[in-house]
Structures are given as C-alpha cells and as structure tokens.
Amino acid sequence: MVLCLRQLPSLDDIAKAAGFGEFAEITGDELAAYRPAAPPEELRAWRFHDSGAEFILTAIKTKPDERFRAATPEFARSTNFACSLASAASEPPAAVLAALVRLLGRAPSETSVEGTMQVHAWRERTDKHLSLVHYYVPAEGSGRSILSASTFVRN
C-alpha cells in the first residue's frame, strides 16, 4: 500500500522502490495489458510475490480522460500520476479496509458497487492537487482486489 500512497506524484520514487527486493519489471507485450484507456505518457509495471500471493504494481503518468475532464473541469488540464496494486492476496478485505482507514486517517468518502466490484473511495483536494484513492474488492469475495491512487496536479 505504501508504495502507491506515499510516493505519488513521483513515479521515479515508485520505480526506485520497486528496484529493490524481488520486483520483476513487466515489459513488452505483457505491459500492454496494463495500458489505460487514455494514452499514457509513461507506463511501468512490476510483479512480485509476498506471502504466497502475486502482486502487480503499476505506475502511470497521463492526461485526464474525457469523462474526468467533464466531471472535474477545473482539473481538465492537469497531469495524472497514478499507481495501483492488484492482488489476489488472502488478506481479508475488511482488514485491508481497516488498514487504509488508519493510513488515510478517515473512513471512505463513499462506497459503491461497480459491476462485480465493491469500491471504497477517498477524495482529497487542494487548489493545485486532487487526490483519489480507490479500493476495489470483488463483491463475490474471490478474485483480484485493486488499490489505486491518483494525484492530479494542475500545470
């Protein structure tokens, strides 16, 4: 979790942190699977294992997509620095959610269901930054969970 949340907006710091330990960088055709809908200016990904579970860490720099620009016009010309951590870890979602609440200092701003995922979202805003944290948990209880953090920085 800390790899994503504490390093943004510095993708270089995420890459440095991933350069230690058992992280294996994902490149070539396999990297295309992690490409967002909006063309990225930078995209990097790593695979690592912990406690028998596989994790995928991604770091992306991109411009906001059209849906975001329409919903948040004051950040339409910002740069998005994003990081996500996907896993099929055996850690119970309630324990991860409790850890996120402690780390972020408050309960989610909202909780909703998107398709097959339950989504817990936090939002923090200043004049220059808009930070979004999303924790996606399979509604059925099995499958990959995703922790995603984005920081939109006004240019």
At residue 134, the 3 state secondary structure works out as: strand
| Domain assignments of the chain as residue spans, ordered by start | 2-153
The pLDDT assigned to 21 comes to 64
pLDDT at 54 over 80: yes
9 burial via Cβ count (<10 Å: 0-12, 13-18, 19+): buried
DSSP code, position 11: H
Task: Pick left, alpha or beta for residue 115 (phi over 0 → left; psi -120 to 50 → alpha; otherwise beta).
Answer: left
Which is higher by pLDDT, 12 or 69?
69
Name which residue leads in pLDDT, 142 or 93.
93
**Which tens digit of pLDDT belongs to each residue from 82-102?**
999 888 766 788 888 999 999
pTM score of the predicted model: 0.86
CA 37, CA 23: separation in Å to the nearest integer? 25
Nearest to 21 by CA among 53, 46, 42, 52: 46
pLDDT digits (tens, 9 = 90+) for 18-40: 766 678 889 999 999 999 887 89
pLDDT, position 1: 54
Alpha-carbon span 32 to 86, nearest angstrom: 16
- What whole-number distance in Å separates Cα of residue 126 and Cα of residue 154? 10
pLDDT averaged over the chain?
Answer: 87
Least confident range of 10-19, 23-32, 60-69 = 10-19
Among the listed residues 147, 91, 95, 89, the one whose alpha carbon sits nearest the alpha carbon of residue 117: 147
- Residue 49, pLDDT score: 82
Residue predicted with more confidence, 71 or 19 = 71
**What is the sign, positive or negative, of the torsion defined by CA atoms of 74, 4, 113, 87?**
positive
pLDDT at residue 14, rounded to an integer:
77
Tens-place pLDDT, residues 108-127: 999 999 998 999 999 999 99
- The Cα 83–Cα 102 span in angstroms is 20
